[in-house]
A and B are shown apart, each in its own frame.
Chain A
Amino acid sequence: MTPLVSIQGLSVAFGGAPVLRGIELTLQKGEALGLVGESGSGKSVTWLAALGLLPRHAKVSGSVRLDGRELLGAAASELDRIRGGRIAMIFQDPASALNPVLTIRKQLCEALALHRDLSGEAVKAEALRLLGLVGIPDAARRLSAYPHEFSGGQVQRIMIAMALAGNPDLLIADEPTTALDATIQAQILELLSTIRREMNMAMVLISHDLGVVAENCDRVAVMYAGRIVEQAPANQLFADPLHPYAQGLIGALPPLDGPRRRLIAIPGTVPDPAQMPDGCAFAPRCALAAEACGATAPTLAPIADDRAVACIRAEASRRALLGIAAE
Chain B
Amino acid sequence: MGRYFAIRIGRAALTIVLVVTFAFVVLRLSGDPALMILGPEAPPEVLAAFRKAWGLDDPIWFQYLDYFGAIAKGELGRSMRDGRPAIELVLERIPATLALTVPAFLLKVALGIPAGIYAALHRGSAIDRAVMMTAVAGFTVPSFVLALLLVLVFAVQLGWLPSGGQDSWRHAILPIATLSLGGAAVLARFTRSAMLEVLGQPYIRTASAKGVPWRMVVTSHALPNAAIPTVTILGFMVGTLIAGAVVVESVFAWPGVGRLLVVAVANRDLAVVQCILLLVALTMVTSNLIVDFLYGFLDPRLRAKGAHA
Chain A interface (Cβ within 8 Å of chain B)?
48, 51, 53, 76-77, 80-85, 88-89, 91, 93, 96-102, 110-111, 114-115, 146, 148-149, 159, 162-163, 165-166
**A91-B205 contact, Cβ under 8 Å, with A76-B213, A80-B211, A148-B301:** yes
Contact B207 A53 (CB under 8 A): no
Could you tell me which residues of chain B, from 264 to 290, have a CB within 8 Å of some CB in chain A? none
The smallest beta-carbon distance between B21 and chain A, in angstroms, is 39
Contact A82 B211 (CB under 8 A): yes
Contact A76 B214 (CB under 8 A): yes
7 A-B contacts, Cβ less than 8 Å apart? A89-B209, A91-B206, A99-B224, A101-B228, A111-B210, A146-B300, A146-B304
A residues in contact with B299, CB < 8 Å? 100-101
B202 contacts chain A at the CB level, 8 A cutoff: yes
Chain A residue nearest to B216 (CB atoms) is A110
Contact B207 A99 (CB under 8 A): yes
Contact B304 A149 (CB under 8 A): yes
The distance in angstroms between the C-alpha atoms of A183 and B207, with both chains bound, is: 28
The distance in angstroms between the C-alpha atoms of A101 and B205, with both chains bound, is: 15
The distance in angstroms between the C-alpha atoms of A44 and B147, with both chains bound, is: 54
Contact A83 B211 (CB under 8 A): yes
Contact A81 B211 (CB under 8 A): yes
Contact B304 A101 (CB under 8 A): no
B201 contacts chain A at the CB level, 8 A cutoff: yes
Contact A101 B210 (CB under 8 A): no
Contact B203 A98 (CB under 8 A): yes
**A110-B210 contact, Cβ under 8 Å, with A99-B203, A100-B299, A101-B300:** yes
A residues in contact with B96, CB < 8 Å? none
Contact A99 B210 (CB under 8 A): no
Q: Which of B207, B212, B213, B220 contacts A77 (CB 8 A)?
A: B213
B221 contacts chain A at the CB level, 8 A cutoff: yes
Which are the 10 A-B pairs with shortest beta-carbon distances? A84-B211, A84-B210, A83-B211, A146-B300, A89-B209, A99-B203, A96-B202, A80-B211, A111-B210, A97-B206
B225 contacts chain A at the CB level, 8 A cutoff: yes
The smallest beta-carbon distance between A92 and chain B, in angstroms, is 8
The distance in angstroms between the C-alpha atoms of A276 and B224, with both chains bound, is: 42
Point out which of A51, A77, A88, A102 has the most chain B C-beta atoms below 10 A from its C-beta: A102
B166 contacts chain A at the CB level, 8 A cutoff: no
B298 contacts chain A at the CB level, 8 A cutoff: yes
Point out which of A91, A98, A99, A111 has the most chain B C-beta atoms below 10 A from its C-beta: A99
The smallest beta-carbon distance between A220 and chain B, in angstroms, is 24
The smallest beta-carbon distance between A201 and chain B, in angstroms, is 15
Point out which of B206, B211, B221, B225 has the most chain A C-beta atoms below 10 A from its C-beta: B211
The smallest beta-carbon distance between B302 and chain A, in angstroms, is 10
A residues in contact with B202, CB < 8 Å? 91, 93, 96-97
Contact B209 A114 (CB under 8 A): no
B residues in contact with A111, CB < 8 Å? 210-211
A residues in contact with B225, CB < 8 Å? 99-101
Chain A residue nearest to B228 (CB atoms) is A101
**A102-B224 contact, Cβ under 8 Å, with A81-B211, A114-B212, A115-B211:** yes
The distance in angstroms between the C-alpha atoms of A97 and B206, with both chains bound, is: 6
The distance in angstroms between the C-alpha atoms of A82 and B211, with both chains bound, is: 7
B140 contacts chain A at the CB level, 8 A cutoff: no
B residues in contact with A48, CB < 8 Å? 205
Chain A residue nearest to B221 (CB atoms) is A99
Contact A148 B304 (CB under 8 A): yes
The smallest beta-carbon distance between B251 and chain A, in angstroms, is 42
Q: Which of A51, A81, A100, A148 contacts B209 (CB 8 A)?
A: A51
B residues in contact with A88, CB < 8 Å? 209-210
Contact A163 B203 (CB under 8 A): no
The smallest beta-carbon distance between B226 and chain A, in angstroms, is 10
The smallest beta-carbon distance between A168 and chain B, in angstroms, is 10
Chain A residue nearest to B208 (CB atoms) is A53
Chain B residue nearest to A51 (CB atoms) is B209
The smallest beta-carbon distance between B148 and chain A, in angstroms, is 43
Could you tell me which residues of chain B, from 17 to 47, have a CB within 8 Å of some CB in chain A? none
The smallest beta-carbon distance between A99 and chain B, in angstroms, is 4
Chain B residue nearest to A165 (CB atoms) is B210
Further pairs besides A80-B213, A97-B205: 9, Cβ < 8 Å: A80-B211, A84-B209, A84-B210, A84-B211, A88-B209, A96-B201, A99-B224, A102-B221, A111-B210
B residues in contact with A99, CB < 8 Å? 203, 206-207, 221, 224-225
The smallest beta-carbon distance between B186 and chain A, in angstroms, is 24
The distance in angstroms between the C-alpha atoms of A77 and B224, with both chains bound, is: 24
Contact A100 B210 (CB under 8 A): no
The distance in angstroms between the C-alpha atoms of A319 and B32, with both chains bound, is: 99
Could you tell me which residues of chain B, from 212 to 246, have a CB within 8 Å of some CB in chain A? 212-214, 220-221, 224-225, 228
The distance in angstroms between the C-alpha atoms of A110 and B210, with both chains bound, is: 9
B residues in contact with A101, CB < 8 Å? 224-225, 228, 298-300
**A100-B211 contact, Cβ under 8 Å, with A91-B205, A93-B202:** no
Q: Which of B201, B206, B210, B221 contacts A166 (CB 8 A)?
A: B210
